[in-house]
């Protein structure tokens, strides 16, 4: 069997033998593969001959399961990003609003007053901190209740129920 034509390109018989996986020597397969690697014209003819052969069809389509997995992954990414952002905002607001009620020790004189007002201020700051944190979390909860539809409901008269 002739593998190459006079112009140096592969013959149709060589390409068909390659498609049919006919018995060839290692050297013949190597020469054909090397020629296909650099000759676009023969590669085009080879792919056209391959397109004429019957194609295999899958037993079941993976299209539906692939779309379901893509949608689930997109939903997880979206929730993850917004949950991270919400946690960052909550932490920032907690630090910002929560620190407003704490005493600043650098501005008050250290234990100099005879009436012990500084000592009382230092002892009472955990209670103020707790009240401040309760207020912050209550405001954050009210903010998210507004979006979930659990906010204050009104009847037709406009009063709160």
CB 136 within 8 A of CB 97: yes
Q: What pLDDT digit, counting tens, does each position of 58-113 carry?
A: 677 777 788 888 899 998 888 888 888 888 888 888 887 776 655 554 444 454 55
Bridge partners, 154 (sequence order): 160
pTM exceeding the 0.75 threshold for the entire prediction:
no
Does some domain include residue 156? no
Which DSSP symbol is given to 149?
A: T
- Does 141 lie in the same domain as 93? yes
- Does 47 lie in the same domain as 90? no
How many domains does the structure of the chain reveal?
2
- Closest by CA position to 29, among listed 17, 40, 11, 41: 17
67 contacts: CB under 8 Å, gap ≥ 6:
none
- Does 85 lie in the same domain as 46? no
Residues 148-153: what's their mean pLDDT? 55
For residues 117, 123, 127 and 132, what is the CA-based torsion angle, rounded to 10 degrees? 70
3-state secondary structure of 161: coil
Residue-range definition of the domain harbouring residue 108: 81-148
Does some domain include residue 159? no
The structure tokens 């201020």 sit at 121
Does some domain include residue 63? no
pLDDT at position 115: 55
Does some domain include residue 6? no
CB 19 within 8 A of CB 50: yes
pLDDT at position 161: 46
Q: Give, in order, the Cα–Cα distances in Å from 132 to each of 39, 128, 147.
A: 77, 6, 24
- Does 48 lie in the same domain as 89? no
CA-CA distance, 77 to 28, in Å (whole number)?
Answer: 53
Between 53-57, 73-77, 108-112, 138-142, the lowest mean confidence (pLDDT) is in 108-112
């Amino acid at each position: 069997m002739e593998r190459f034509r006079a112009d140096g390109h592969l013959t149709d018989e060589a390409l068909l033998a390659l498609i049919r996986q006919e018995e060839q020597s290692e050297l013949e397969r190597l020469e054909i593969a090397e020629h296909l690697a650099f000759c676009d014209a023969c590669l085009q003819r080879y792919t056209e001959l391959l397109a004429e052969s019957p194609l295999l069809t899958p037993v079941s389509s993976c299209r539906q399961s692939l779309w379901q997995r893509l949608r689930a992954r997109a939903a997880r990414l979206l929730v993850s990003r917004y949950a991270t952002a919400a946690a960052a905002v909550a932490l920032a607001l907690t630090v910002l609003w929560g620190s407003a009620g704490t005493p600043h020790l650098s501005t008050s004189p250290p234990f100099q007053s005879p009436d012990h007002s500084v000592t009382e201020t230092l002892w009472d700051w955990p209670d103020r901190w707790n009240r401040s944190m309760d207020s912050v979390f209550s405001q954050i909860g009210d903010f998210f209740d507004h979006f979930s539809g659990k906010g204050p409901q009104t009847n037709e008269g406009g009063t709160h129920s």
